[in-house]
Chain A
């Protein structure tokens, strides 16, 4: 195992139990560690890999696998996903057995309610950091704004939006 892969596994293993609200809430910290602290890739590549993972089938967390692949090849892709999934899966396995008892407990509602602003703030951080690395010029910023409005106001399927945006880029309308 390369030094970078061990570092990735430790990072993902730690982030696993912090990923309240799914993969996108840990993006800011992933970017901070992978891009800013350990310089495994630049912010632009990080954003491109995130975009690629969005366009692929499967859970949002696939970006972790793609980062692993980029840093350390096939073993990187496999170990990264096992490290991000391991700790949270063990927790889910254990809690699933006793969940019925706590489902309607008042403290559970308080915890869930209290986590919401933190999850929301982390997601806004993710969006801000991603937009900073994907807005290479004003036309791409406009594309992000237009796609956001489209996603918020219509029930459009994500796939045509991604394909359309890639096509606009390829033919040179944006970027």
Chain B
């Protein structure tokens, strides 16, 4: 049932395919490649790794590459999985950046970008509403969300200050006053 654990090269290649296919979100591809295709982890194990990676700071899928690589081959495995994940996206982004630099002033390209950017804003708005939805009815949590918004969007408090203060405040307040 369990195939032999992947080597460093297999980790690089596996995560390369995840990064290269990850249009519009990498996570579903990561699940498909790691659990269904290569069977490196069971669905439960993948869920546990993902839970850790969402809990820690940093890009979720980058953290997944580090954790999965480390699990099978230690530090070299983590580095290989991370580099595999990033290789294709960095190449694509650099190519897109070069094209953008060249044609940014062209009227049609500029208008296409205005539309694209409006849709990209919608992605972030939709994501934020999805995150906030479970807070409905929890007035303390909603107040803490509002304080975070006002501090960072209106007063532009630096994140280096806002994150530790708000995180500690939020953790203590919700732990003490919410059941």
Which A residue's beta carbon lies closest to that of B153? A125
- Taking the closest CB of chain A, its distance from the CB of B155, in whole angstroms, is 11
Contact A29 B70 (CB under 8 A): no
Q: Interface with A: B5-13, B34-42, B167-175, which one?
A: B167-175
Q: Shortest beta-carbon distance, B25 to chain A, in Å?
A: 7
Interface of B is mostly: helix
Contact of B66 among A62, A93, A125 (CB under 8 A): A93
Per-residue contact bits, chain A 32-50, to B (CB 8 Å; 1 contact, 0 not): 1000100000000001111
Residues A52 and B127 in contact, CB atoms below 8 Å apart: no
C-alpha gap A137/B58 in the complex (Å) = 34
Complex Cα gap A174–B113 (Å): 11
Number of interface residues of B (CB under 8 A): 95
Residue contact B52 to A99, C-beta cutoff 8 Å: yes
- Which residue of chain B lies nearest to A164 when distances are taken between CB atoms in the complex? B119
| Complex contact A127–B22 (CB within 8 A) | no
Whether A88 and B89, one on each chain, are in contact in the complex, defined by CB atoms closer than 8 angstroms, is no
Q: Cβ of A49: which chain B residues have Cβ within 8 Å of it?
A: 97, 100
Q: Contacts of A81 on B, CB cut-off 8 Å?
A: 86, 90
Q: State A134–B22 Cα separation when bound (angstroms).
A: 25
**Which one, A118, A126, A162, contacts B124 given CB within 8 A?**
A126
Q: Is the CB of B115 within 8 A of A15?
A: no
Please state if B115 and A170 are interface contacts (CB–CB under 8 Å). Answer: yes
Q: Would A24 and B127 count as touching, CB distance under 8 A? A: yes
Q: Is A6 an interface residue (CB 8 A)?
A: no
Q: Are B156 and A28 in contact (CB under 8 A)?
A: yes
A-side interface residues, number (CB < 8 Å): 107
Q: Could you tell me the distance between the alpha carbons of A129 and B48 in the complex, rounded to whole angstroms?
A: 34
Instruction: Choose among A26, A48, A78 the residue that contacts B100 (Cβ–Cβ < 8 A).
Output: A48
Q: How far is the CA of A143 from the CA of B118 in the complex (A)?
A: 7
- Asked if A118 and B114 sit within 8 Å, CB to CB, the answer is no
B58 to chain A, nearest CB (A): 3
B66, B120, B130: which contacts A89 (Cβ < 8 A)? Answer: B66
Residues 74-86 of chain A: 1 if any B CB is under 8 Å from the residue's CB, otherwise 0? 1001100100110
Q: How many Å from the CB of A155 to the closest CB on chain B?
A: 12
Give the shortest distance, in Å, between B66 (CB) and chain A (any CB).
5
Chain B residue nearest to A156 in the complex (CB): B24
Chain A residues with CB under 8 A of B32: none
The listed residue (A48, A88, A112) touching B59 by CB distance below 8 A is A88
Inter-chain contacts of A165 with B (CB < 8 A):
115-116, 118-119
* A23 contacts partner chain B, Cβ-Cβ < 8 Å: yes
Q: 10 new A-B pairs (CB below 8 Å) besides A124-B153, A125-B148? A: A19-B58, A20-B167, A48-B113, A60-B59, A65-B90, A110-B174, A114-B173, A114-B174, A118-B167, A120-B131
Which 7 pairs, one residue from A and one from B, show the smallest C-beta to C-beta distance?
A: A169-B115, A58-B89, A121-B148, A88-B58, A114-B171, A158-B24, A165-B119
Q: Which residues of A are at the interface with B, using a C-beta cutoff of 8 A?
A: 14-24, 26-29, 32, 36, 47-62, 65-66, 69-70, 74, 77-78, 81, 84-85, 87-89, 91-93, 95-97, 99, 103, 108, 110-131, 133-136, 140-141, 143-148, 150-152, 157-159, 161-162, 164-170, 172, 174-175
